[in-house]
């Protein structure tokens, strides 16, 4: 059985993935470089979020002690941060991209969970 935290995490990741695709398609109207710049900006946030969810939820099932859960949460957050900074740096330094689509998608996906949390929580109550 998948509990509330698992469903919340999966829906949040799905919303981030969908937003990445929609923003990338929007920038595709401009040109291909803008589209893949937006896609890379979104993936620079989405992939670390997937790692965070995987580490936290994997350990949450096995560890019910609050100290263990908290320790794993901090570990997951550190991995997310390191992965995000690494992907961001690699994209900026080694990929020919347009900075505006990249940064717009990167920033929007950073703040998206703040706005989608209320929507997801409302859907959870009604489900």
pLDDT at 64: 63
Question: What is this structure's pTM?
Answer: 0.83
127 is a domain residue: no
Domain that holds residue 34: 4-122
Q: What is the mean pLDDT of residues 100-127?
A: 80
Query: What does the pLDDT look like over 29-85, one tens digit per residue?
Result: 999 999 999 999 999 999 999 999 998 887 665 556 777 778 888 999 999 999 999
pLDDT band at 20 (very low <50, low <70, confident <90, very high): very high
Retrieve residue 82's tokens. 């390191």
Whether residue 42 contacts residue 24, with contact meaning beta carbons closer than 8 Å, is answered with: yes
Total domains in the chain come to: 1
59 is a domain residue: yes
Cα–Cα distance for residue pair 12/90, rounded to 1 Å: 25
Q: Please check the confidence at residue 4 and state whether its pLDDT lies above 70.
A: no
pLDDT at 1: 40
- 46: closest CA among 23, 64, 65? 23
- 32: closest CA among 97, 92, 95, 94? 97
Q: Please check the confidence at residue 6 and state whether its pLDDT lies above 90.
A: no
Cα–Cα distance for residue pair 67/41, rounded to 1 Å: 34
* Cβ contacts of 67 within 8 Å, gap of 6 or more: none
pLDDT at 114: 85
Q: Please check the confidence at residue 126 and state whether its pLDDT lies above 80.
A: no
Classify 65 as helix, strand or coil.
Answer: coil
């Amino acid at each position: 059985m998948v509990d509330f935290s698992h469903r919340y995490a999966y829906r949040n990741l799905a919303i981030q993935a969908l937003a990445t695709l929609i923003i990338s398609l929007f920038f595709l109207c401009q040109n291909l470089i803008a589209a893949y710049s937006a896609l890379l900006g979104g993936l620079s946030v989405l992939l670390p979020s997937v790692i965070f969810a995987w580490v936290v939820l994997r350990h949450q099932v096995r560890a019910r002690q609050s100290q263990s859960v908290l320790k794993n949460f901090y570990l997951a957050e550190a991995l997310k941060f390191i992965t995000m900074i690494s992907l961001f740096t690699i994209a900026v330094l080694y990929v020919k991209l347009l900075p505006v689509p990249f940064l717009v998608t990167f920033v929007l996906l950073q703040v998206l969970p703040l706005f989608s949390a209320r929507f997801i929580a409302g859907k959870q109550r009604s489900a």
